[in-house]
Structures are given as structure tokens and as C-alpha cells.
Amino acid sequence: MTAPGSADLLEVPTPEPGPGQVRLDVLAAGVCHSDLAVLHGGAAATWTLPFTLGHETCGRVAELGEGVEGLAVGEQVVVHAPHGCGVCPRCLTGRTNYCDRRASLPAAGLGLGLDGGMAEAMVVDAARVVPAAGLDPVAAATLTDAGLTSFHAIEGSRAALAEPDALAVVIGVGGLGHLAIGLLRGLGTTVVAVDTREEALVLARECGADVAVLPADARGAVPARGADAVFDFAGAPSSLELAVSVLRTAGELVVVGSGGGSLTVSKPGALPSGAAVRLPFWGSRPELEAVVGVARGGGLTPRTTTYPLADADRAFAQLREGRLLGRAVLVPAGT
């Protein structure tokens, strides 16, 4: 990315790993709504340009920097992309997504202010990579955000989902939402999926949703008591309004999407008594290891559409127009 709104494909020298780093030959890089937000200005206005987009990456280790141990050339890995200060207690345990200094950091992560994976090669700190041998590289790339963020959001609601006959509502069956449905079904949770697109409702059923409905029919699909947890992957004004309306007393509202909606918190107010609201962000490195394990066990099956890296603009356009189901993934030539 050379300027806000400009994603150009450029020839640059192959990066070389420094001490503690590895160079990866990129096998696949996911495309996310966050990439669209960056392209159209947003936080990119405060980041140093140029940089390479791509925060969902699967690659093959091509070169080891000085002092790197425990990895081998040729090994397939995925990349934990959230950026942290590296020295606070959270960063030291792999929770860079919740770094104590996040507000003052110069970038949010690889591909989000720092060079990411929409390239033929990238250099990353060895501490960021997670072994992912045996997985399809296209599917593996999606695990690093779509899978990881969904997993992290659900893990934080395990107590609510342990209620007898627990029911969860998933609003927005996109790149993250369709994986969240699979993860919730793996816990034995009843799932009601909601989306404005009929084709997304078909995908929701394929992923294991017990019920998949349009927003107008959502209230009738949820028991009178409400849902134990509502996962809003849109975060838009209309989706938040719906989420609050179907939430159970002492239920959990988990706002994952960044669609510009807002909540007024007051007591008493629109939220039911005892409600908890969470705003999860990405996930930790140990959680990414867990997500890779779930995928290896068959518990995550991403729906993907692949594009050549040189055709990134078409992937961005189709995502922007709402024409994609699941996750778009870019594949460099020759992989």
C-alpha cells in the first residue's frame, strides 16, 4: 500500500531475515474487511507508508535468521500477526492482541501498518510463527484471523455457553461468522444464524446452524427467554439493535464486527439485567495454536474463494460488493 486507497503490485527486493527472524515463501494470504477499511483511509492515515497488506498468512520457511531454533527450512507455518510492545506481561505470554501499550503502538499488526503477507515472501519474528503442517495452505491462512478471532470470541463466553440447553445467535455469516458456527456446534451449542443474504443462510446451514433466518425472522427463531450469547459479526446499528432484542437476562453480547453501530449503556436501559458486553480483538498466539489443532481434527472447515495475488483488486471489489461467501484468499504465482 503506497497511499490511502491505493493498493499497487510492486517489484521489491526479496527481504532478508535478521537475528531471531525467518523468511517465508508465502503460500496464501486471506482478504478481510479490515483490509478494505485500511485501503479507504481509516487508521492507515497514521501508519508509515508504504507497507504490504495481509494479516492472514500461511507460508513455508525459506530461510532462518541467526539464532533461530525449533524451525526447519521447508516447514509450513501460519503467522500470528497482532503487534505488541514485546515486553509487557501480556506480550510475554503471547497476548499481543491485548498489549498494555496498544494505544501508543505505531501499527496494529502485520498487514495493518507493518509489512504483511500479500506478497511472494515476507520476514517475521520466529516467535510469531505456528507450525501448520498437513493443512491446506489456503484454509490455514484463514485460521490466523477469521478462525482465531472467532475462537477467541467464543472462548470468552464459555461460561454462558455452559448453561443447560445453551443457545447462541450468530449475526453475520461472513468470513468469521461461518467459522464461529462450526466452533459453536463443536461445543454442542444450538445455533441460530442471521444474515441478510439468502446464500449466506445456505452456507450457515452447511456449517451446522440449527436455524438460519433473515433479520426480520430472528426474534421468532429464538425462545422467549432469549439467547445465552449473541455474537455480532457485523457491529452495525441494525445488527446491534437486533442483538440486544434477542439477548437473555444475564446473557452475553459479544460485538466482533466494526460496522459503526453503538450501544447506550444505562441502568435500567435497553440491555437486559445482568447482561455482559464484550469487545474481543483478534486472539493470542496460544489460541492460534489451539485453532490449528481444531482444524487438524476436522473441527474447522473454512469456505474459501481463491484469487491470484496479481488479481487482488478483483477480490477487494467483490468483498466490498458483498458478493463473496466465506473468505477470499490470495495465492502467489507458482504456489
SS (H, E, C) the chain: CCECCECCCCCCCCCCCCCCEEEEEEEEEEECHHHHHHHCCHHHHHCCCCCCCCCCEEEEEEEECCCCCCCCCCCEEEECCECCCCCCHHHHCCCHHHCCCHHHCCCCEECEEECCCCCCEEEEEHHHEEECCCCCHHHHHHHHHHHHHHHHHHHCCHHHHCCCCCEEEEECCCCCHHHHHHHHHHCCCEEEEECCCHHHHHHHHHCCCCEEECHHHHHHHCCCCCEEEEEECCCCHHHHHHHHHCEEEEEEEEECCCCCCCCCCCCCCCCCCCCEEECCCCCCHHHHHHHHHHHHCCCCCCCEEEEEHHHHHHHHHHHHCCCCCCEEEEECCCC
Place of cell 500477526: 81
Distance of CA 122 to the CA centre of its chain: 20
Residue 79 has pLDDT above 80, yes or no: yes
Residue 7 has pLDDT above 90, yes or no: no
The region of weakest confidence among 2-16, 30-44, 245-259 is 2-16
pLDDT score at 6: 65
241 pLDDT band, cuts 50/70/90, is: very high
d(CA 257, CA 279): 9
Residue 44 has pLDDT above 70, yes or no: no
* Length of the chain as a residue count: 335
The region of weakest confidence among 4-18, 163-177, 178-192, 203-217 is 4-18
Residue 147 has pLDDT above 60, yes or no: yes
CB 78 within 8 A of CB 58: yes
Q: In what order do the strands lie in the sheet with 167-171?
A: 211-213, 190-194, 167-171, 227-232, 247-255, 276-278
269 pLDDT band, cuts 50/70/90, is: confident
Residue 323 has pLDDT above 80, yes or no: yes
pLDDT score at 244: 97
d(CA 267, CA 282): 30
d(CA 212, CA 193): 5
d(CA 222, CA 226): 6
The CA–CA distances, whole Å, from 204 to 59, 183, 229 equal: 29, 12, 17
Greater confidence, 44 or 221? 221
Mean pLDDT calculated for residue range 98-120: 93
pLDDT score at 217: 98
pLDDT score at 46: 66
Mean pLDDT calculated for residue range 242-247: 98
Residue 5 has pLDDT above 70, yes or no: no
Tell me the average pLDDT of the chain: 93
Dihedral sign for Cα 175, 179, 181, 184, please.
Answer: negative
Residue 296 has pLDDT above 80, yes or no: yes
Mean pLDDT calculated for residue range 103-107: 90
42 pLDDT band, cuts 50/70/90, is: low
d(CA 59, CA 115): 14
Mean pLDDT calculated for residue range 255-273: 92
Greater confidence, 264 or 1? 264
pTM above 0.75, yes or no: yes
295 pLDDT band, cuts 50/70/90, is: very high
pLDDT score at 119: 95
The CA–CA distances, whole Å, from 22 to 16, 26, 48, 80 equal: 8, 12, 23, 13
Residue 45 has pLDDT above 60, yes or no: no
d(CA 163, CA 245): 20
pLDDT score at 37: 84
